[in-house]
Amino acid sequence: MSTTLTSKLQNLNLEEETDELYPPNSTMAMTHAFKLHQVHLEETKDEVIGPPDGHLTFGYMMKYEPFDTLPIGYFPWKEVDHYPPTFDYGIPVTVEEIKDYARREIFAGGPVPDDYRRVLFGVFEKLDNEFGLDPALGFFIGTPYSKTQGLVILKFIDNYFCPFSVEKVNLIVDGIKKAFGKAPQWFLSGTNKKFKDHYNVPDWKLDRYDAHRRKLLNF
């Protein structure tokens, strides 16, 4: 079943000879966040290799997160009632890593204030300015759901919301690598309140959407 959803997502637009891999006319899945499936993904029209069977189960997500590239089925698709867990995109950092960055980039090697909130504000301001981000939409701290005890996520998007272009995201990713020496990954978010055992979409919902889409295309 999970293979059906992934295949459907991957093939929808490939049938129309386009490089993009998201469902057309979709109010939620066509956000920039969905396009991020393609960030650092080698694109090919001849073959699109998807994740293994069973990847749409909570057990698989818990076992294998964080992900370098988020599987395409982990993005929401409103038209088929597909709402997977929230994944934050960013880097895991400790308090000391945040302070070290602040000492190096903000306080010119001098002492870092004891007020950690002031330090965080300075880090957010520095990063937002560096990448030209609106502070209301820029960097902030996320809480991981698991696997990163003692760490927080310095995040800037998630799989439900991304106000940036793919080009902008790539710029931020490269800058974060240089600043902290680690690449962003997708982490299960601590904002998730509850989980389902699986996030498969029934074939009849996919078929209904496909039929509706084809009818619109042929109208």
The set of long-range contacts for 35-39, using a CB threshold of 8 Å and a minimum separation of 24, is 35/162, 35/166, 36/70, 36/89, 36/157, 36/159, 36/162, 36/166, 36/169, 37/69, 37/70, 37/71, 37/72, 37/75, 38/166, 39/69, 39/166, 39/169, 39/170, 39/173
pLDDT category at 116 given cuts 50, 70, 90 is confident
Q: What is the pLDDT of residue 37?
A: 59
Q: For the whole model, what pTM was predicted?
A: 0.81
Question: Residue 210's pLDDT is what?
Answer: 82
pLDDT at residue 41 tops 70? no
